[in-house]
Amino acid sequence: MERTLIILKPCTVQRGLIGEIISHFEKKGLILAGMKMAWLTDEILSEHYAHLKEKPFFQRVKDAMRNCPVVLCCWEGVDAVHVVRAMTGSTNGRNALPGTIRGDYSMSMQENIVHASDSPENAAIELKRFFDDKELYTYNPTLLPNLYANDEV
């Protein structure tokens, strides 16, 4: 099983959409392996968004992510990174297709509801950035045989 990081951004928290967004991942059949609320620091955001450091909007992105606490989630499943990216839709909410999380809940490039890891390699790095090992859980959900064929897991 593959793991991925989802950050429910401050816009999601402020709009009262936490439960609604989490339910999308639950209904899909992804397994929640860890979740917590945190107020992100400038240091951790500088590390997380280091790839944007030279962009003119770098500080604006960090400021927006410090507006209020975020909800950090680790979701698990077969091809979890790909599945979650497909569910979230295009980064720009105005371009995201209806039926995707951003397509249904966002009108913004920045205030686009969630951050989702873009590769299994980055998911591993990001999960270590935001979670201690003891905050992530491995268990056998009783619904697993109803989610996958026995040769898929």
The CATH number for 121's domain is: 3.30.70.141
Identify the active-site residue in 24, 48, 82, 115. 115
User: Which token pair is 50?
Assistant: 């280091």
Whether residue 93 is contained in a domain is answered as yes
Whether residue 21 is contained in a domain is answered as yes
pLDDT by position in tens, the chain (length 153)? 999 999 999 999 999 999 999 999 999 999 999 999 999 999 999 999 999 999 999 999 999 999 999 999 999 999 999 999 999 999 999 999 999 999 999 999 989 999 999 999 999 999 999 999 999 999 989 989 999 999 998
Q: Token match 């999308």: residue? A: 24
Whether residue 151 is contained in a domain is answered as no
Per-residue model confidence (pLDDT) at position 101: 98
- Which structural domain, as residue segments, surrounds residue 55? 2-146
Q: How many domains does the chain have?
A: 1
Per-residue model confidence (pLDDT) at position 153: 86
Whether residue 73 is contained in a domain is answered as yes
Whether residue 153 is contained in a domain is answered as no
Respond yes or no: is residue 115 known to be catalytic: yes
The CA distance from 107 to 125, in Å, is: 29
Tell me the C-alpha to C-alpha distance, in Å, between residue 105 and each of 1, 36, 56, 76, 151.
28, 22, 26, 23, 35
Whether residue 152 is contained in a domain is answered as no
